[in-house]
């Protein structure tokens, strides 16, 4: 996949949930079928119903392929994985995706699921905010959410993150459409020049300390040049 995107194949963010739990957020890959299956198996009937708007007992092989083998442009999927003490991935706990509508390249439909035991900790919000950033860099301007009309949690989440949305209801289904707000979360970009600048400053300070107790004209000149402000320029 093209790498000028911030949400590219090797994107990874680690979030500290509390004193004992750390979570990695990363793009879903074709190797995630077992994690997805495990996550689905752990979901309550109610969460499955809310996510798929129908009773759902299992995921077929075709669905596992569909949900994990995505192009990350028109169908983008982001997962949250609980890490163990050594930083290894332990358990899939949330997944979010958007799929660009075939007839409207600037609108995408969103699906979100947070494991029952992890709901109410802000993960749905975290995921939706990142989906918005990823969608915007893929030229998407609007999100469409389709869920059961009584899914109050989803309605509140959409309102909280998207700020404004238009809701309509049709035979027990709620359809929300929201123009994407300015991203509330942007992945940090490290400028290599700033990193080098910092490294040189550190060296300057270490050398100055080392020369503190030396004397002589040559040493004075060296000390002056080390004290001069340093800034890398292109
Ligand atoms: C809907 C869902 C994704 C929300 O994820 P979550 O991690 O539990 O939500 P968060 O903790 O991030 O909550 C963020 C905001 O959403 C709203 N919200 C979440 N759960 C809520 C609830 N039970 N009642 C009312 N508002 C709720 C609140 O505005 C909340 O902000 P607040 O905590 O400051 O009040 C999650 O409950 C879920 O996976 N449900 C099952 C599947 C589903 O319904 N998917 C949606 C269809 S695509």
* Tens place of pLDDT per residue across the chain (234 aa): 556 799 999 999 999 999 999 999 999 999 999 999 999 999 999 999 999 999 999 999 999 999 999 999 999 999 999 999 999 999 999 999 999 999 999 999 999 999 999 999 999 999 999 999 999 999 999 999 999 999 999 999 999 999 999 999 999 999 999 999 887 666 665 555 555 554 554 455 455 545 554 555 555 555 555 555 444 433
Pocket mutation for ligand 1, best pick of 119, 127, 160 (most atoms within 8 Å of C-beta): 119
Q: Name the pTM for this structure.
A: 0.82
* Nearest alpha-carbon partner for 134 in 194, 74, 90: 74
Alpha carbons 46 and 13: distance in angstroms, whole number:
29
Residue 154 confidence (pLDDT):
98
Ligand 1 centroid from CA 54, angstroms: 19
Q: Give the atom of ligand 1 at the shortest distance from the alpha carbon of 50.
A: 44
Pick the residue whose CA is nearest to atom 7 on ligand 1. 124
Regarding the beta carbon of 154 and ligand 1, being less than 6 Å apart is answered: yes
Structure tokens at 79: 């997962």
From residue 52, give the alpha-carbon distance in Å to each of 105, 194, 216, 226.
23, 47, 78, 64
Residue 219 confidence (pLDDT):
56
Residue 197 confidence (pLDDT):
52
Residue 62 confidence (pLDDT):
98
Regarding the beta carbon of 122 and ligand 1, being less than 6 Å apart is answered: yes
* 3-class secondary-structure state, position 148: strand
Ligand 1 centroid from CA 25, angstroms: 18
């Amino acid at each position: 996949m093209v790498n000028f995107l911030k949400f590219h194949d090797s994107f990874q963010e680690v979030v500290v949930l509390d004193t004992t739990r750390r979570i990695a957020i990363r793009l879903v890959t074709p190797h995630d079928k077992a994690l997805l299956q495990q996550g689905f198996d752990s979901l309550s009937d109610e969460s499955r119903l809310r996510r798929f708007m129908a009773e759902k007992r299992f995921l077929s092989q075709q669905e596992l392929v569909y949900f994990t083998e995505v192009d990350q442009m028109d169908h983008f999927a982001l997962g949250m994985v609980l890490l163990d003490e050594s930083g290894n991935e332990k358990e899939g706990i949330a997944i979010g995706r958007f799929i660009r509508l075939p007839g409207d390249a600037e609108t995408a439909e969103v699906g979100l699921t947070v494991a029952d035991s992890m709901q109410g900790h802000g993960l749905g919000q975290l995921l939706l905010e990142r989906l918005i950033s990823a969608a915007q860099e893929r030229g998407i301007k609007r999100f469409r959410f389709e869920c059961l009309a009584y899914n109050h949690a989803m309605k509140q989440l959409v309102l909280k993150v998207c700020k404004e949305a238009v809701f309509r209801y049709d035979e027990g289904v709620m359809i929300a459409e929201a123009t994407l707000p300015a991203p509330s979360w942007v992945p940090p970009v490290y400028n290599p020049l700033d990193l080098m600048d910092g490294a040189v400053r550190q060296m300057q300070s270490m050398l100055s300390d080392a020369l503190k107790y030396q004397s002589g004209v040559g040493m004075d000149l060296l000390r002056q040049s080390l004290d001069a402000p340093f800034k890398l320029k292109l």
